[in-house]
Chains A and B, each alone.
Chain A
Amino acid sequence: MQLVKTINDPVHGTIGITKLEARLINTKAFQRLRNVRHLSLAYLVYPSANFSRLSHSIGVCHVTGRLLESLRKNSPNLALDEKEEQLYRLAGLLHDIGHYPFSHPMEDAVKNYCARKKVLVETSSSGEGVSIGKYEYYNHEEVGAFVLENDPEIMAILEEERIAPRAIHSIFNREDPPRFANLISSDFDADRIDYLLRTAHHTGLPYGKVDINYLIGQLKAGDFDGTTWLYLDHKALKAADHFLLSRYFDNHQAAFHKTVAGFEWMLKEALQGLLENDLIDCDVSAIRQKIENQTWLQFDDDHVTHQMHKLTEIKGADEVTKLLTSALITRHPPKQLVEFETLAKKGEAPFGDKKKLVGQLVKSYAEEYGLDERLWHVWSKTVSPTKVGAHFRFDEVDDIDQDKKEQAIQVFDQHKQRPMPIVTMKESLMSVLSNYEYNALRLYLLLPPEKEGLLQEIKDKVFQALH
């Protein structure tokens, strides 16, 4: 690959890019990512964690290049030509181009709004709900595919280079996944590598300090049972364990941080309010139109924040949503009243009864204190260190869904003389840890300013009721 330009990056140092990549980076649709924060609201807790999807995307392109370089060196019979290499690098560069403002929380809000509008009707209402087909959504990968196929600047560049947009988005969308799609989407991919390093750098958390260079250097590819597998040499097994464990801790300290998670709940409520009040429109036809008429280029975090300000001023809009939105804008987090955590064997659901009890407490205290039930939030999470391990027991690993199996970290098994998922290897930490899940249950409350004095009293009552 001819890397004709360089970009300085705080995580990877000097990054080389091709002429084609430089042209795509300069398009308006790519520059839009400058205003879409990668970690959504984490910057409200970690002040420097406000890096954008633009810097992450360039990082992913660079890491994809490094992974391919290793493959070329370690598996010389691959017949990997420059054209194919460029396609994977482009998939890395453009994999996030369809992200909504505020990323995943917005996507969840859109999906839930869509389900309410299109599929569900409240049992308490007498209506039949709106007719089918009224509201449809794209996930961010689908938006990405649509951008590649319809953004005039990107289309012109790809056409000039004789590259079909589908050749790029089929990699990051895993549509009939090409042989190395796992470079962009798997338990050990360029996306997760850059994410881990970049999050560590910008939050100041130490979990990015894994032996990434060694892991990248041990990547190989080979044909087994008629399929091409990407795998790590057996000697990289410990480093792979460490990588997965680091991701696990990173999730705990960043995404599941009590204040970040509290803000994320408020953000979803605010976004729901924007959708309900027509302050944003994420219906498929609206998104298509935005991309075609290029108003998509302004559809970023700043725009949505501006719409949130508008929501707080709308007379007649739901008062609870307005309160949650105002609190978010002014960085006024909800208070965590109680938290339970435990590591348990998979499928045990250790907090089932407790969650029901918390639900009953919310109903009762909401009435007693005159605090709307929607100001309370029951947060629960179940997490396992590996994608495979997240859902399957070790002894079931041969039966897992094919897609998940393909995306697990594969390590070369010296006895079987073929790559195997890391969780099946008895010498790996993951073979044990993947049988366990971290379970957490929290109760949050956002008190209106005039009722903040009630916090300790409510907290004590909740504690007594649950212990």
Chain B
Amino acid sequence: MEARLIALKLFLDELNLDCDISTVQDRKRFQKAVFLGQMAGAEMGYRYGWYLMGPYSPALTRDYYELSEALSVDDEDVEKYSLNSSVKSLLERIKPLFSVPPSVNLAVEDWLELLSSILYLEKVSELDDDTMREKIKTEKPALVDHIEKGSETLESLNLL
């Protein structure tokens, strides 16, 4: 298996996420996990743009399908490697993001969409707080009630 795919698999393993991509929600979780990891400094080289479900990387899509294909026949190569300690500690820091707070009534994938969207709009698109809220309100009405909690969670990890 190619090194970049091994790195991707170990990245997800480290966050205790599986690499299943059967459903749209699975693929969304994958996309947002890598985005959040990269924003925390664990750079994997994927470039993100803004799509319907928030930050999305076409290159990552290509790679996770390739990974899924590779894993279906062989996962022995993965055992030859582990993530280096810097990446591990950066990912350790963002693990709390993957638990939905009790006050938030969202599936974990939707919670991750919200966090990634806030982060993308504020850090990548460099929108001010009001414009970010307005955009989420217009494009993602189902998430709008939880913007406050999302921003607070990101701030608590110094990501915002």
User: Chain A interface (Cβ within 8 Å of chain B)?
Assistant: 108, 111-116, 118-124, 128-133, 136-137, 139, 141-142, 173-177, 347, 349, 351-352, 355-356, 359, 380, 382, 390-391, 399-404
8 tightest A-B CB contacts, nearest first: A129-B84, A132-B86, A112-B3, A115-B7, A349-B72, A115-B3, A119-B7, A115-B4
- 5 inter-chain pairs at a CB distance below 8 angstroms, sorted by A residue, are A119-B83, A120-B7, A174-B58, A356-B73, A401-B24
- Of B49, B51, B61, B83, the residue contacting A121 (CB under 8 A) is B83
Q: Does the CB pair A120–B81 fall under 8 Å?
A: yes
Q: Does the CB pair A403–B86 fall under 8 Å?
A: no
Given A112-B4, A120-B84, A136-B45; 12 other pairs, CB 8 A cutoff:
A111-B4, A114-B45, A119-B10, A119-B84, A120-B81, A122-B81, A123-B79, A139-B47, A351-B73, A356-B76, A402-B51, A404-B61
- Of B49, B73, B90, the residue contacting A380 (CB under 8 A) is B73
State the CA gap A399–B49 with chains docked (Å).
20
Does B36 count as interface, using CB distance less than 8 angstroms? no
Does B85 count as interface, using CB distance less than 8 angstroms? yes
Q: Does the CB pair B84–A401 fall under 8 Å?
A: no
State the CA gap A111–B44 with chains docked (Å).
9
Q: Does the CB pair B74–A120 fall under 8 Å?
A: no
Report the nearest B residue to A134, measured CB to CB.
B86
Q: Does the CB pair B47–A142 fall under 8 Å?
A: yes
Chain A hits for B49, CB < 8 A = 173-177
Chain A hits for B73, CB < 8 A = 349, 351-352, 355-356, 380
Chain A hits for B23, CB < 8 A = 399
Does B134 count as interface, using CB distance less than 8 angstroms? no
Q: Does the CB pair B45–A111 fall under 8 Å?
A: yes
* Cβ < 8 Å to A, chain B residues 3-58: 3-4, 6-7, 10-11, 23-24, 27, 41-45, 47, 49-53, 56, 58
Chain B hits for A130, CB < 8 A = 84
Q: Does the CB pair A401–B45 fall under 8 Å?
A: no
State the CA gap A347–B83 with chains docked (Å).
29
Q: Does the CB pair B24–A391 fall under 8 Å?
A: no
Chain A hits for B7, CB < 8 A = 115, 119-120
Looking at the assembled complex, report how far the CB atom of B87 sits from the nearest CB atom of chain A, in whole angstroms.
5
- Of B24, B43, B74, the residue contacting A355 (CB under 8 A) is B74
Chain A hits for B69, CB < 8 A = 349, 382
Q: Does the CB pair B87–A132 fall under 8 Å?
A: yes
State the CA gap A356–B6 with chains docked (Å).
17
Report the nearest A residue to B69, measured CB to CB.
A382
Q: Does the CB pair B65–A356 fall under 8 Å?
A: no
State the CA gap A404–B23 with chains docked (Å).
14
State the CA gap A391–B2 with chains docked (Å).
20
Looking at the assembled complex, report how far the CB atom of B36 sits from the nearest CB atom of chain A, in whole angstroms.
15
Q: Does the CB pair A121–B24 fall under 8 Å?
A: no
Does B160 count as interface, using CB distance less than 8 angstroms? no
Looking at the assembled complex, report how far the CB atom of A139 sits from the nearest CB atom of chain B, in whole angstroms.
6
Chain A hits for B86, CB < 8 A = 128-129, 131-132
Does B59 count as interface, using CB distance less than 8 angstroms? yes
- Of listed A142, A351, A399, A403, residue having the most chain B CB within 10 A: A403
Report the nearest B residue to A272, measured CB to CB.
B3
Chain A hits for B72, CB < 8 A = 347, 349, 352
Q: How large is the interface on B (under 10, 10 to 19, 20 to 34, 35 or more residues)?
A: 35 or more
Q: Does the CB pair B43–A133 fall under 8 Å?
A: yes
Looking at the assembled complex, report how far the CB atom of A305 sits from the nearest CB atom of chain B, in whole angstroms.
23
Chain B hits for A380, CB < 8 A = 73
Looking at the assembled complex, report how far the CB atom of A8 sits from the nearest CB atom of chain B, in whole angstroms.
35
Bitwise, B74-106 to A at CB < 8 A (1) or not (0) is 101001111111110010000000000000000
Q: Does the CB pair B81–A121 fall under 8 Å?
A: yes
Report the nearest A residue to B53, measured CB to CB.
A402
Looking at the assembled complex, report how far the CB atom of B139 sits from the nearest CB atom of chain A, in whole angstroms.
12
State the CA gap A121–B69 with chains docked (Å).
23
- Of B6, B53, B56, B85, the residue contacting A115 (CB under 8 A) is B6
State the CA gap A399–B26 with chains docked (Å).
12
State the CA gap A119–B83 with chains docked (Å).
6
Question: Assuming A111-B4, A123-B80, is B47 touching A401 (CB within 8 A)?
Answer: no
Report the nearest A residue to B44, measured CB to CB.
A119
Q: Does the CB pair B11–A119 fall under 8 Å?
A: yes
Question: Assuming A352-B73, A356-B74, A359-B76, is B84 touching A116 (CB within 8 A)?
Answer: no
Q: Does the CB pair A120–B82 fall under 8 Å?
A: yes
State the CA gap A196–B73 with chains docked (Å).
31
State the CA gap A136–B49 with chains docked (Å).
19
Report the nearest B residue to A268, measured CB to CB.
B2
State the CA gap A175–B40 with chains docked (Å).
22
Chain B hits for A400, CB < 8 A = 24
Chain B hits for A123, CB < 8 A = 79-82
State the CA gap A133–B44 with chains docked (Å).
10
Chain A hits for B59, CB < 8 A = 139
Q: Does the CB pair B61–A403 fall under 8 Å?
A: yes
Q: Does the CB pair A132–B51 fall under 8 Å?
A: no
Q: Does the CB pair B74–A114 fall under 8 Å?
A: no
Q: Does the CB pair A402–B84 fall under 8 Å?
A: no
Chain A hits for B52, CB < 8 A = 402
Question: Assuming A132-B86, A390-B65, is B3 touching A120 (CB within 8 A)?
Answer: yes
Q: Does the CB pair A403–B58 fall under 8 Å?
A: yes
